[in-house]
Structure 1
């Protein structure tokens, strides 16, 4: 059999690019498109209607040809490499998030964001406990589910705010502050899950020890980061682009790899590396160099996740995921209302905040992957696929129509649009004596 790994990867990247173009044409988030194309192509069995059609034709040569083509498009040979690219995608996504994150900015934002973020995290975490209890999940699976339902998608939220031109709106600062608070909680929760799941230990003290080690790892980077950055800046000074990016990537992979060796999720190591470089005077240059890698490997992360999912096994999770998505939207609107009270915003901004924050994506998938690495129940994987697909589609739509939805719920009439004056009307005005 000829080596097809290069052409398989080329076709995979081409397909990801094509669905990305389709998503942009539809002015929609690309994340569900990347996941769906991966799910469709990642199954060894093709859809039932194709099998039925081939059976009705009864041509053995045609059936063998279709089988060969379908086997090629399941990326059998290149799948391990695509999985590795997805793993790199996690590192670059979290590293870039760390570059954008600022603990000082969170503190400066004041009690409004801290209070709103605390209520947001608590409400979503309790929702995860409720759904996990109703699904009768074991403790480890329930903790992963709580993380899945608590982690908003920074990528989708940022894209929606940009596409709708709401970046200058007063509620946007609250939204971004609450996301920063949520990201900080997720970092802590991942460290807890690392001790609970990745160590493979059932001892309370072993789990507590690993969790405390992860917490110490995070705090060490937060405390020592500013002291290390002058040395890193001197290391980066007047370096060629080649050496500059080699130094950045070597530190990123070393920190992420070290965190994995002490049973802390490598994603946390990448996030901490980003936090350190966030104080560098070369921040803009680092962001500019890392952004293309984040976009490329981030897309492959969602695609590789889709490849790992058997779309024919999702049926049992659809009902629970839809129920969880409904609870998430309602709970986030409630947390948005609570945030507006502390931020002196108008009540109508609560739906803007709630609908925007309902998006789920990269962090929910990272949580599910931790569960997969710990060999937890497969229902977690099925649940997160449907849950992320629903909210990554519904949240942008609700955010776009948030003002109309508020007007209907509150009984207010939509403000009439100003009539556009025609050129003939202006000419008539000028001609009047």
Structure 2
């Protein structure tokens, strides 16, 4: 046990050093932490008392990372107003549908193009369709865009994407893992997921006075125990209903966003969000074996390019339909571009179902590239917009519309 604590402490020191370097370079810490996780791990050397393989402590680090995802999504939920989200309901459904359909179709076409069998093609399509809630949340926080006009739509699209993931995993689990799930069973599972999400919207809309009374706790110590205990309980309970634990945390944050205690909770949760969030990205890198990536390089690069194109187009369509500017619409596609934990889950399902072993290194490389490139593109969105604006003349067309109005 003492050795394991020393291993975890060593990992945290590495995370701290990488974070300081990223801060000095004024760079997002996400790529630094993912690459750091890949560099160490099972294939790293052991130097005296320093064991950089982290084999004994990997489960603990992974669990701390999962806590990081919960805090990230909980914080994002706190930042939003449910009333505004409900007003954007139609735009969210339209944007989410366009996003999922376009990316899923691209994945299907790509799978058939590289001559993958049907089930492998479906898994590839699923992988290309699901964004990383953890990385999207971190990007919104890092770039201070939680108050931007497009962010409500991004949040709604994440919820929609998670609902699609629940349906997709239910169907593919039935097909791949035997005892094919009945249509009735799938519909019931999806219905429960939708009902569960709607319940939190209802609590946020109608239950605010009750929540205000329940959280009227003077002691910060007791207050934080009550809030965090409820957060972990709801996240865990969500998993039993086949709603991702991260989305459970997001929904709980949304439920508390309308209360008079929301700012107090935000203030208390920020240090936990930053600390555990950093551990998540390190543990994510730790799960990737760099020695297996070469075989899937070209396949993954092709998928990355198609994903960038699909996200840009779907983000632009969703944003423009919602009445957002070209710049805000482009931000949507760039922000939700990162792939992460959910893509790995889809790939692992394929591997567990006895599909091509190539899916594992393909998913690792595909996720790694987009987990690094996604936040970078989001950070440089202003320059990307200016470059594309010279080609498509968006600002001029908007001026014409204003003049006509």
TM-score (norm 1): 0.75
**Aligned residues of 1:329 and 1:358 also touching (Cα < 8 A):** no
2:122 aligned with 1:142: yes
Alignment equivalent of 2:74, drawn from 79, 82, 95: 95
Taking a change above 3 Å as real, the CA distance of residues 124 and 27 of structure 1, as seen in their structure-2 partners, is farther
Offset from partner CA, 1:185-239 (integer Å, 9 cap, x none)? 1231243245346786522243443333323322233334444443332122133
**Aligned residues of 1:252 and 1:273 also touching (Cα < 8 A):** yes
The two structures, once aligned, show a CA RMSD in angstroms of 3.5
**Aligned residues of 2:104 and 2:128 also touching (Cα < 8 A):** no
Shift of 1:37: 0.9
Q: What is the DSSP-based 3-state SS (H/G/I as helix, E as strand, rest coil) of the residue aligned with 1:28? A: coil
Taking a change above 3 Å as real, the CA distance of residues 132 and 302 of structure 1, as seen in their structure-2 partners, is farther
Q: What is the DSSP-based 3-state SS (H/G/I as helix, E as strand, rest coil) of the residue aligned with 1:122? A: helix
- Tell me which residue corresponds to 2:164: 189
Shift of 1:243: 0.6
Alignment equivalent of 1:330, drawn from 300, 305, 309: 309
Q: What is the DSSP-based 3-state SS (H/G/I as helix, E as strand, rest coil) of the residue aligned with 2:180? A: coil
Q: How does 1:318-357 map to 2 (within 5 A)?
A: 318-339=297-318, 341-342=320-321, 349=327, 352-353=330-331, 356-357=334-335
- Tell me which residue corresponds to 1:203: 181
**Aligned residues of 1:190 and 1:367 also touching (Cα < 8 A):** no
2:387 aligned with 1:388: no
Alignment equivalent of 1:368, drawn from 340, 344, 351: 344
Structure 2 Cα separation of the partners of residues 226 and 344 of structure 1: 25
Offset from partner CA, 1:390-431 (integer Å, 9 cap, x none)? 23443424525314522553599xxxxxxxxxxxxxxxxxxx
**Aligned residues of 1:334 and 1:350 also touching (Cα < 8 A):** no
Shift of 1:386: 2.4
**Aligned residues of 2:71 and 2:269 also touching (Cα < 8 A):** yes
Could you tell me which runs of 5 or more consecutive residues in structure 1 were left unpaired when the two chains were aligned: 47-65, 413-433
**Aligned residues of 1:355 and 1:402 also touching (Cα < 8 A):** no
- Tell me which residue corresponds to 1:23: 22
- Tell me which residue corresponds to 1:402: 384
- Tell me which residue corresponds to 1:7: 6
- Tell me which residue corresponds to 1:288: 267
- Tell me which residue corresponds to 1:417: none
Which region of structure 1 is more displaced relative to structure 2, 309-318 or 391-400? 391-400
Taking a change above 3 Å as real, the CA distance of residues 270 and 157 of structure 1, as seen in their structure-2 partners, is closer
Alignment equivalent of 2:154, drawn from 163, 166, 179: 179
TM-score (norm 2): 0.79
Shift of 1:85: 0.6
Structure 2 Cα separation of the partners of residues 250 and 235 of structure 1: 14
Q: What is the DSSP-based 3-state SS (H/G/I as helix, E as strand, rest coil) of the residue aligned with 2:18? A: helix
Q: How does 1:36-185 map to 2 (within 5 A)?
A: 36-43=35-42, 45-46=43-44, 67=46, 69=48, 72-109=51-88, 115-116=94-95, 118-134=97-113, 136=116, 139=119, 142=122, 145-146=125-126, 148-151=128-131, 153-155=135-137, 157-158=139-140, 161-162=143-144, 173=149, 175-185=150-160
Shift of 1:16: 0.9
Structure 2 Cα separation of the partners of residues 330 and 28 of structure 1: 24
**Aligned residues of 1:89 and 1:299 also touching (Cα < 8 A):** yes
Shift of 1:360: 0.3
**Aligned residues of 2:68 and 2:277 also touching (Cα < 8 A):** yes
Shift of 1:301: 1.2
Taking a change above 3 Å as real, the CA distance of residues 98 and 140 of structure 1, as seen in their structure-2 partners, is farther
Q: How many corresponding residue pairs?
A: 381
Offset from partner CA, 1:282-328 (integer Å, 9 cap, x none)? 01111111122122111111111221221111123322222122112
Structure 1 Cα separation of the partners of residues 190 and 121 of structure 2: 17
Offset from partner CA, 1:39-68 (integer Å, 9 cap, x none)? 11112x34xxxxxxxxxxxxxxxxxxx655
Greater Rg, structure 1 or structure 2? 1
- Tell me which residue corresponds to 1:426: none
**Aligned residues of 2:18 and 2:33 also touching (Cα < 8 A):** yes
Q: What is the DSSP-based 3-state SS (H/G/I as helix, E as strand, rest coil) of the residue aligned with 1:4? A: helix
Structure 2 Cα separation of the partners of residues 359 and 160 of structure 1: 16
